[in-house]
Amino acid sequence: MQKPFQINRAYKEVQQITVAVDCLIFGFNQGNLELLLVHRGFEPERDKWSLIGGFVVNDEDLDDAAYRVLRELTGLEDVYMEQVHAFGKADRDPYERVISVTYSALVLKENYDDELVRSYKAQWFPIDALPQLIFDHEEMVEAAMRRLRRRVKTGPVGFNLLPEKFTLPQLQRLYEAILGEKIDKRNFRKKLSAMNFLIRLDEKDKSESKKGAFLYRFDEEKYNDVKHFSI
């Protein structure tokens, strides 16, 4: 068994590696799934597009660092976010050895601080029309999209991209935007009715037609009673 002083010396002698977090901030706008990117203002890769990220400081937990980065960019506090993957190729950053842990956040675009976003030279891009990204950020986007597509088929995470009240056409367009494919309207609504955690309201949205479409809201308590579902 190693003595304590030997273990402490081993900690000091091992290579020090910097840890960072990168946040993939998704929003939904007019039928398009969008990703918030930042125009990078420093080297390396200055003036190129990047995910928003930052380094984890010594007295900060990993999750706390991700929430701090998200809050600083969007001004939002209570946001659905989950860890996606760790990226640690030895040469991923030309300046030093950096391991980055990615987080996926789903935000309601009407709630984010537009002035704050502009101050960071940030911009929303459709997920299928992204500019070239720095380092391995394209791999990060691909990993986050794979996870989001898996999650949205079996859980209600997509509801975080919609307002509290929404129509079924809006919900279907959201699923189509995430999955990248058309969904049969009849089958989609049949599956939704079987889930029993959508509550139809006595209100209609008439922004798209004179007849209008009924508004719904998500019942989280009912969803918690459902073990599994599939879209």
- Hey, where are the domains in the chain? 10-153, 162-224
Predicted confidence (pLDDT) at residue 9 exceeds the cutoff of 70: no
pLDDT at 118 exceeding the cut of 90: no
Question: Given 3.30.70.890, 1.10.10.10, 3.40.1440.10, 1.10.40.30, which CATH number is that of 162-224?
Answer: 1.10.10.10
Alpha-carbon dihedral sign for residues 172, 173, 177, 178:
negative
The pLDDT value given to residue 84: 97
- With CA atoms as reference, report the closest residue to 102 among 124, 117, 116, 86: 86
Checking if the pLDDT of 184 tops 90, the result is yes
Three-state secondary-structure class, residue 72 = helix
- Report yes or no: 82 and 103 within 8 Å, Cβ to Cβ: yes
Average confidence (pLDDT) over 186-211: 85
CA–CA gap between residue 49 and residue 37 (Å, rounded)? 6
- Domain 10-153: CATH superfamily is Nucleoside Triphosphate Pyrophosphohydrolase (3.90.79.10)
- Statement: residue 214 has pLDDT above 80: yes
- pLDDT band at residue 216 under the 50/70/90 scheme: very high
d(CA 155, CA 229): 7
pLDDT at position 101: 98
Give the torsion sign (CA, 121, 122, 128, 134): positive
pLDDT given for residue 63 in this prediction? 96
Confidence category of residue 100, pLDDT binned at 50, 70, 90? very high
Query: Among 42-51, 152-161, 163-172, 181-190, which is the least confidently predicted range?
Result: 152-161
Contact 38, 52 (CB under 8 A): yes
Phi, psi for residue 70 in degrees, rounded to 5: -60, -45
Q: Please name the residue ranges forming H helices in 14-77.
A: 62-74
Give the integer Cα–Cα distance in Å for 91 and 95.
9
